[in-house]
Chains A and B, each alone.
Chain A
């Protein structure tokens, strides 16, 4: 039964026609349009590093960019918007984002936590007129790539050992001093 139904699903090979010249032409036009539109957007859909953005700020100024990094410090809410600073391991850039979007962020990087790794897309400005000339990104999209987490720094046994060894030396020095005084 299954085999019959499979045979029934497949089209009759005699019914498959090769594409006509007209159809090929339509496919080509659609393909070209897609490619052109992709460039017309002037967007950089692949994530760009902070070094690239800072070192070539003039080239990216006013353009739509995608930038990814770890949220560091904290999310600083200012009215309906918020500042987040994203560090991609090479440098950190400030991102001005809608407060609602920033609500997705749960962890910011510090000694005690690894921050959320997020990707933002928005307009890059090498001297933002709205923010006093800051180099920043005004994000219109924010996507969490990897969630952050608390880091458990256990006590280092080597450090603990060294503390006690040095304490013993200090103690010995103090005892020697007391003996010399007597």
Chain B
């Protein structure tokens, strides 16, 4: 029997949602401050207005839904799924007010793309966007990559039990430290330390490349936030191609790989347990899949002779591939070049890389390496069962922070999520084809959206139909949350209609 959700259950959801909205509102003060500093008065006012709207709504919600109860699993999942939609709507306000987005839907598209660390854009005239709006675009990637709920858990949520349920709902089920609040704060610590180091590295490289100091460090900070959070936004319309710089590409590639690694692994590296890099199933799987997809893409490009030199193959082929595999989406070629200059096999290599993704408990999206590794281990186990004598007991182990015996429940979970992702990629591709795009490019764009990558072959643009924009928004949202929180919303809607 399906039970209708009670008002008091919805109140808990409303209360925590309000807290997240309040937290989000305060993040808007940073670009507002930059706007006043750089004498960008109207952009600064855009953020003050957005701050006020978000704060008012958050306060009203927390007041109306005040409760001291902790969250249960359903409520935790609902808070997560709704908070991402709310963040999209509130985050779009300053973008829309800037006048650089054709419609509020377009602003919502870019806001979701930012929070979900995707990187697909509909912004117009990006090269004339204010510093404060540009900072906001990259800041929401930083926030979204860490996790909107992580922000709340770190600073606003008192109850550890409810916090854990929200943490899991945001597609993180690994704890680095015993307490989930400590885990959230550790994730922030890692990110801030890398932010300082990454900004310095990119800033000095920018100056070396001929940029003015303020621009070099501003771009450095923005590019770091988008690279580490495997997002892919850039301050200029040409993306990374704007810089025409090999050192810049190398540094961003390193940052992208760091962002695609499990935060647990960062903890092990920081605490001196560096052997974990070589033993961990995720890093081993990532290395193998990167090698295989790289081989496919590079050999296909070599065949087409578009890049006759090794350095060109590295800067174009390898860069786009690693950008796709880590889920970042940085490009040093124009979107159209995927269609015109790259042959189908090279494009397929990138699609496969995008579809697979990086590590769990990282900033990346897609199926993820732990699941791929588990599926392959399960395959190995089944092959062994066939080959070995019937009476033998086949035990399969894998190493992920510790030695783990492979269980059927783990395999089932990995296969289910993989299947969901593949379905999502396929549905998006069908919608793209419905609007007249060829299969391979529809699949490319759909995979890019659902796997939160952001590489584009040109389908994503302001002129695309609203239905396709909405499709990609939903794909970005579902892909980022890994379905469970999204299914919870659907389940609650069904319960509200059919429940007793």
Chain A interface residues (CB < 8 Å from chain B) = 54-55, 57-58, 72-78, 82-83, 85, 87, 91-92, 94, 96, 109-112, 126-127, 129, 131-136, 153, 155-156, 159-160, 162-163, 166-167, 169-170, 173, 177
Contacts and interface: CB of A to CB of B under 8 A. Distances in A.
A49 B209 CA distance: 27
A67 to B, nearest CB: 14
B309 A91 contact: no
Contacts of A77: 210
Contacts of A94: 238, 241-242, 244
Interface string B285-315: 0000000000000000000001111011111
Nearest to A99: B210
Interface in B202-236: 209-212, 215, 236
A91 B127 contact: no
Contacts of A132: 246, 311-312, 314-316
Nearest to A168: B52
Interface stretch (B54-62, B392-400, B426-434, B462-470): B54-62
B251 interface: no
Interface stretch (B2-10, B84-92, B332-340, B407-415): B332-340
B480 to A, nearest CB: 29
A74 B42 CA distance: 23
Contact of B127 (A82, A92, A96, A129): A92
Interface string B321-336: 0000000000011101
A156 B98 CA distance: 12
Residues of B contacting A: mostly: helix
Interface in B320-367: 332-334, 336-337, 340-341
Contacts of A160: 45
B332 to A, nearest CB: 7
A162 B93 CA distance: 13
A163 B209 contact: no
B498 interface: no
Contacts of A112: 39-40
Given A162-B49, A170-B55, A55 B315 contact: no
B109 interface: no
A122 to B, nearest CB: 15
A166 B56 CA distance: 8
Most chain B C-beta atoms within 10 Å of own C-beta, residue among A73, A111, A156, A173: A111
Interface of B: 39-43, 45-46, 48-49, 52-53, 55-56, 59-60, 63, 97, 127-131, 209-212, 215, 236-238, 241-244, 246, 306-309, 311-316, 332-334, 336-337, 340-341
Contacts of B313: 133
A159 B45 contact: yes
A155 B211 contact: no
Given A73-B236, A91-B237, A92-B237, A126 B210 contact: no
B128 A167 contact: no
B52 A159 contact: no
26 contacts: A54-B336, A57-B341, A75-B210, A76-B209, A77-B210, A82-B210, A91-B334, A92-B236, A92-B237, A94-B242, A109-B128, A111-B43, A111-B130, A111-B131, A131-B244, A132-B312, A135-B333, A155-B45, A159-B46, A159-B97, A162-B49, A166-B49, A167-B52, A170-B52, A173-B60, A177-B63
A169 B8 CA distance: 27
A130 B242 CA distance: 16
Nearest to B306: A127
Contacts of B246: 132
A57 B333 CA distance: 12
B42 A153 contact: yes
Contact of A129 (B39, B40, B312): B312
A4 to B, nearest CB: 65
B127 A155 contact: no
Given A72-B128, A78-B209, A169-B56, 9 more contacts: A72-B127, A74-B211, A96-B244, A111-B40, A129-B308, A133-B309, A153-B40, A170-B52, A173-B56
A169 B54 CA distance: 12
Contacts of A85: 236, 238, 242
Nearest to B237: A92
The 5 residue pairs across chains A and B that have the minimum distance between CB atoms? A76-B210, A133-B312, A166-B52, A132-B315, A72-B127
A1 B63 CA distance: 101
A105 to B, nearest CB: 13
Contacts of A126: 306, 337, 341
Contact of B334 (A78, A96, A109, A135): A135
Given A73-B127, A159-B49, A160-B45, A127 B316 contact: yes
A153 B244 contact: no
A72 B313 CA distance: 28
A163 B313 CA distance: 52
B237 A83 contact: no
A57 B337 contact: yes
A9 to B, nearest CB: 58
B462 to A, nearest CB: 12
A33 to B, nearest CB: 37
A74 B210 CA distance: 9
Contact of B42 (A136, A156, A167, A177): A156
A87 B237 contact: yes
Nearest to B97: A159
B22 to A, nearest CB: 12
A39 B126 CA distance: 38
Contacts of B309: 129, 133
A152 to B, nearest CB: 10
Given A92-B237, A170-B52, A73 B242 contact: yes
Contacts of B315: 132-133
Contacts of B39: 112
A136 B315 CA distance: 15
B334 A54 contact: yes
Given A109-B128, A133-B316, A135-B333, A155 B307 contact: no
Contacts of B337: 54, 57, 126, 135
Contacts of A91: 237, 334
